[in-house]
Each structure stands twice: as C-alpha cells, then as structure tokens.
Amino acid sequence: MSDKGLTLKDIFVAIAGLLGLVYLINPGAGVFELIPDNFPIIGNLDEAAACAIILAAFRYYGIDLTSFLGRGVKGKKDAGDREKGAGSSNS
C-alpha cells in the first residue's frame, strides 16, 4: 500500500474482499447462489472462488493467511539449505 493514502485499487480490493465475505456468510440463506450447491463437483466452486478472493484481499494488505502451508519462496530456500546440509554431512 502506498503512503499517499487510499487509491482506487485499495478501495476495489477492500470491496471485493467484503463482497466475498458477505457471500460466504450467506445472509440470503441459500436463496441467492451463483452456482447451486446440489450440482456435483462444481456446486462449491463459487464458495471456493469467494475464499480465494478473501485470501487475495488479505494478502494485498500484507496479511498472508496461507504462509503456514510452506509453499512460498521462503519454504523453497529452506529446502535448499537442508539439501546442502544433508550433502555435506555424508561427505
């Protein structure tokens, strides 16, 4: 985020995150859904997309809720360090 204040992109990301959250909270009690849940396999894709939008909005504002999965650049660097350590102990 820039120090110049809120930009249009900041506002758009916040609104998208809030809309995703409202969609997951489901205030309409299932009356309004983009894809009905009773369709096999594809029925829950709209909820998955709403979760992805919420996670992306948090990440945009500096809160990475997926960091515990260990798939980031930091995790790859650590894996390389472990390989170097394992190779040097066998030599």
Q: How far are the Cα atoms of 27, 51, 68 from residue 64, in angstroms, in the given order?
A: 27, 13, 9
Whether residue 2 lies inside any domain: the answer is no
Task: Quote the domain boundaries for residue 78.
Answer: 8-90
Q: pTM for this one?
A: 0.64
Q: What pLDDT is recorded for position 66?
A: 81
Whether residue 3 lies inside any domain: the answer is no
The count of domains in the chain is 1
Tell me the per-residue pLDDT of 2-12, one tens digit each, with 9 for 90 and over: 467 789 999 99
Q: What pLDDT is recorded for position 87?
A: 53
Tell me the per-residue pLDDT of 71-80, one tens digit each, with 9 for 90 and over: 555 544 444 4
pLDDT beyond 70 at 19: yes
Q: Reduced to 3 states, what is the DSSP secondary structure of residue 27?
A: coil
Which residues lie below 8 Å from residue 47, measured CB to CB, with a gap of 6+? 23, 24, 37
pLDDT bucket at 91, cuts 50 / 70 / 90: very low
